[in-house]
């Protein structure tokens, strides 16, 4: 099956755990059996999550526009990030805003560092 993604995506606000302000998500695909999912994420200028923690599943993303900083690494347009399940990250932010395509290997449960 081939599906064309158009301008009429179902964007909705979402607060990423322990972050602010809210982002806007457009779900693209989800696997109900395994819990994996693919989303577009629009980070507003000034978004941040200063706390340390990790997701309980793998996360992979590609920045399509803007810049996103995670654990001191600046990801710009075309850059790919990969964080295996349990990999701690700190000080995530987007000073000027960003658009990213993100894939999670299962339910994305955030676990804050102790």
CB-CB contact of 75 with 81 (8 Å): yes
| 15-34 average pLDDT score | 95
Sketch the domain layout of the chain as residue ranges. Answer: 26-112
Residue 2: the pLDDT is 56
Q: Is the pLDDT of residue 18 over 70?
A: yes
CATH fold group of domain 26-112: Jelly Rolls (2.60.120)
Residues 6+ apart with CB under 8 A from 19: 47, 48, 49, 92
Residue of 93, 105, 97, 92 whose CA lies nearest to 35: 105
| 82-104 average pLDDT score | 97
4 or 41, which is more confident? 41
74 or 7, which is more confident? 74
8 or 2, which is more confident? 8
Token pair belonging to 49: 């999550």
CB-CB contact of 16 with 55 (8 Å): no
For the question of whether the overall pTM of this predicted structure is more than 0.85, the answer is: yes
| 4-32 average pLDDT score | 90
Token pair belonging to 56: 């309980």
């Amino acid at each position: 099956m081939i599906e064309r993604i158009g301008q009429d995506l179902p964007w909705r606000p979402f607060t990423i755990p322990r972050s602010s302000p809210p982002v806007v998500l457009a779900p693209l695909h989800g696997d109900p059996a395994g819990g994996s999912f693919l989303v577009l994420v629009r980070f507003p200028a000034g978004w941040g999550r200063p706390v340390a923690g990790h997701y309980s599943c793998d996360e992979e993303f590609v920045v399509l526009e803007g810049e996103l900083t995670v654990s001191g690494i600046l990801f710009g347009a075309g850059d790919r990030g990969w964080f295996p399940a349990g990999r701690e990250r700190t000080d995530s932010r987007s000073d000027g805003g960003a658009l990213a395509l993100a894939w999670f290997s299962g339910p994305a449960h955030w676990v804050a560092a102790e």
